[in-house]
Amino acid sequence: EDQVTQSPEALRLQEGESSSLNCSYTVSGLRGLFWYRQDPGKGPEFLFTLYSAGEEKEKERLKATLTKKESFLHITAPKPEDSATYLCAVQAGETSGSRLTFGEGTQLTVNP
């Protein structure tokens, strides 16, 4: 069974204080790892897809990296508008089709 664990559950940062969120996964045959951002009362917004170990993707203050066991979402000099819940999900195996398995998310708060 595919498993995804995110840490920490919650993170408070001061504006400009860089940090990282972790997503550890146990799957059979990773086909893709996805990062989403979710604002309160809204659906998740797609950020990145990572396909293989060593891959990196960047978007503004966010950078996602992938190893064989985990992915990190690095946030550089965050701003209050980066406050949200960040979700990690994996797609794995040849028989599971297109379904995703999600972690429980990290709730990020950036104080001004």
Partner 1 sequence: DGGITQSPKYLFRKEGQNVTLSCEQNLNHDAMYWYRQDPGQGLRLIYYSQIVNDFQKGDIAEGYSVSREKKESFPLTVTSAQKNPTAFYLCASSTNRQGSNQPQHFGDGTRLSIL
In the complex, which residues of this chain contact partner 1 (CB under 8 A)?
4, 9, 31-32, 34, 36, 41-46, 49, 51, 87, 89, 91, 94, 97-100, 102-105
CB of 77 to partner 1, least distance (A): 26
Q: Greatest CA span in the chain, whole angstroms?
A: 46
- Cβ 65 vs Cβ 46: under 8 Å: no
Q: Which helix (H) or strand (E) holds 95?
A: none
CB of 89 to partner 1, least distance (A): 8
Residue closer to partner 1, measured from CB, 12 or 42: 42
Structure tokens at 74: 């690095």
CB of 112 to partner 1, least distance (A): 26
- Cβ 109 vs Cβ 13: under 8 Å: yes
